[in-house]
Amino acid sequence: MLYREAGQFKTSYAKDQAIFPILQDRVMMVLMLVVAFVGVPMLASEYWLSTIMLPFLVFSLAALGLNLLTGYAGQLSLGTGGFMATGAFAAYKLAVAFPEMNIVIVFLLSGVITAAVGVLFGLPSLRIKGFYLAVATLASQFFLIWMFNKFPWFTNYSSSGVISAPPRAVFGDFFVTGSSASPANKYLFTLVIVCVLALAAKNIVRSHVGRSWMAIRDMDIAAEIIGIKPLQTKLGAFAVSSFYCGISGALWAFIYTSSVEALAFDITRSFQILFMIIIGGLGSILGSFMGAAFIVLLPIFLSNAPTMFGLNISVDLISHMEFMIFGALIIFFLIVEPHGLARLWQIGKEKLRLWPFPY
């Protein structure tokens, strides 16, 4: 009833191929964007913007990147943290070396650099598959973190190996990094980047490129036989995925924490992002966002919940409970719906189509 498609006729190819062919989806999307661009900055407190919305957006972008690689192209990777670090350090070097360069260009270039690194570390995927590949990508994870930690050139010879973002504006005094940037500015800037890149991702996966990724994912030998070149396709997936992860890492370092050391992108970060896409749904753009929201919000909620309800529990017990509940919920969700939150959403939509007259 609420979600009725009847009467929406597609009279041209363009309409048929629209990203959101159904009216309700379009309305909802516009509403979401309005809320995100206007509602949130107006209503949310500084705490919300800088410690919930910002990491959510940054993580969404990283999850999106990994989802392109793992969910669409089927290459299981645990090197996300390393690629994020590459983006962060590339952005830092660029921003410091070329102070006049616009921060947007800095971020894009750092994404490109990360893409190149990603291709390099994606090479083993031509020969190794499945969990063997996953563990092999850990090599890139450990190597990259070690490299950024080890060579002081990457941190401009700071004695402790921590980089901190120089103040930069997108235009005029719209500062997005450094101490003079307001949380609202940071949030809006990140939101724009994430929206543009999400739109791009949505279109990539609908295109020839995305379809060949999915063919490789579903069965690479068969894909090869129908004329998809595994070399270009797999490395392309690594490049695009790393591009996203790189930008996400740069945003993390410049906008979210505004100072970072290589260890912030260690192996736990990679796992965290893998959780997001599995909880959210492999092979789903929406799922990346839902997964990121789940993984970012849940621990914050769990650690705040006892104070909210006025319970006086010691912080260590809270943290331990947080671990337990987090683990239990992951298992619970996998049992209830192994294909992630995005799939739940889809099922919900199906039901809404008929509701309230299911027969």
Partner 1 sequence: MRFTKLILAAVGLAVGVSGFAVSEAKAAEQFIPSLVYRTGPYAPNGTPFADGAMDYYKMLNARDGGINGVKLVVEECDTGYNTDRGVECYERLKGKGETGAAAFSPLSTGITYAIIERAAKDKIPVFSMGYGRTDASDGRVFPYVFTAPSTYWSQASALVRYVGSEEGGMANLKGKKIALVYHDSAYGKEPIPTLETLAEKYGFTFHKFPVTHPGLEQKATWLSIGRKLRPDWVFMWGWGVMNQTAIKEAAAVGFPMNKFIGAWWSGAEPDTRPAGKAAIGYKSAAFHSPGSNFIVHQDIFQHVYGKGNGTTTEDLVGEVLYNRGLINSVFVSEAIRTAMSKYGNKAMTGEQIRWGFENLDLTNAKLSKLGLSRFMKPVKITCLNHEGGTPLRIQEWKGQQWEFVSDWIEPMNDIVRPMIEASAAKYAAEKGITPRTCN
Partner 2 sequence: MEFLTAIFVSPFIEIYEYPLFFIEVVLGGLLAGVMYSLVALGFVLIFKASGVFNFAQGAMVLFAALTLVGLIEHGFPIWLALISTIIVMIALAMAIEKVVLRKLVNQEPIILFMATIGLSYFLDGFGQTLWGSDVKVLDLGIPNAPIEFLGILVNQFDLVAAASAGTLVAVLAIFFQKTRIGRALRAVADDHQAALSVGIPLKTIWAIVWAVAGLVGLVAGIMWGTKLGVQFTLTLVALKALPVLILGGFTSIPGAIIGGLIIGMGEKVAEVFWGAAFGGAIEDWFAYMLALAFLLFRPQGLFGEKIIERV
CB of 128 to partner 2, least distance (A): 5
258: contact with partner 1 by CB under 8 A:
yes
- What is d(CA 154, CA 92) in angstroms, rounded to the nearest whole number? 8
In terms of Cα–Cα distance, which of 295, 265, 255 is closest to 277? 295
The residue (of 125 and 258) whose beta carbon lies closer to partner 2 is 125
* Residue 73 binds partner 2 (CB under 8 A): no
Question: Which parts of 120-139 interact with partner 2 (CB under 8 A)?
Answer: 124, 127-132, 135-136, 138-139
Query: Quick check: 323 binds partner 1 (CB under 8 A)?
Result: yes
Instruction: Give the torsion sign (CA, 61, 155, 46, 312).
Output: positive
Question: Among partner 2, partner 1, none, what does residue 346 contact (CB within 5–8 Å per kind)?
Answer: none
| Residue 24 makes contact with partner 1 by CB under 8 A | no
Q: Which does 212 bind (CB under 5 to 8 A by kind): partner 2, partner 1, none?
A: none
Q: Is 315 in the site for partner 2 (CB under 8 A)?
A: no
Residue 160 touches partner 1, criterion: CB under 8 A: yes
The stretch among 79-87, 195-203, 215-223, 310-318 that binds partner 1 (CB under 8 A) is: 310-318
- Number of helical (H) and strand (E) elements in the chain, helices listed first: 16, 2
> Which among 66-74, 205-213, 261-269, 277-285 is the span making contact with partner 1, rule CB under 8 A?
261-269
DSSP characters over 228-244: --HHHHHHHHHHHHHHH
User: How many Å apart are CA 244 and CA 250, to the nearest integer?
Assistant: 10
CA–CA dist 277, 65 (Å, integer): 10
301 binds partner 1 (CB under 8 A): yes
Residue 180 neighbours by CB distance under 10 Å: 11
As a whole number of angstroms, the distance between CA 23 and CA 8 comes to 8
- Closest distance of CB 103 from partner 2, Å: 31
> What is the Rg, in whole angstroms, of the alpha carbon atoms belonging to the chain?
21
Dihedral of the alpha carbons of 187, 188, 190, 191, in degrees to the nearest 10: 110
Specify the amino acid at residue 92.
Answer: Y
Residue 39 touches which of partner 1, partner 2, none (Cβ within 5-8 Å per kind): none
Beta bridge partners of 243: none
Write down the least CB distance from residue 139 to partner 2, Å: 4
Task: Give yes or no for a contact between 212 and 76, defined as CB atoms under 8 angstroms apart.
Answer: no
Residue 178 interface partner, choices partner 1, partner 2, none, CB cut-off 5-8 Å depending on type = partner 1
The residue ranges that bind partner 2 (CB under 8 A) are: 76, 124, 127-132, 135-136, 138-139, 142-143, 146, 150-151, 219, 221-222, 225, 267, 271, 274-275, 278, 282, 316-317, 319-331, 334-335, 338
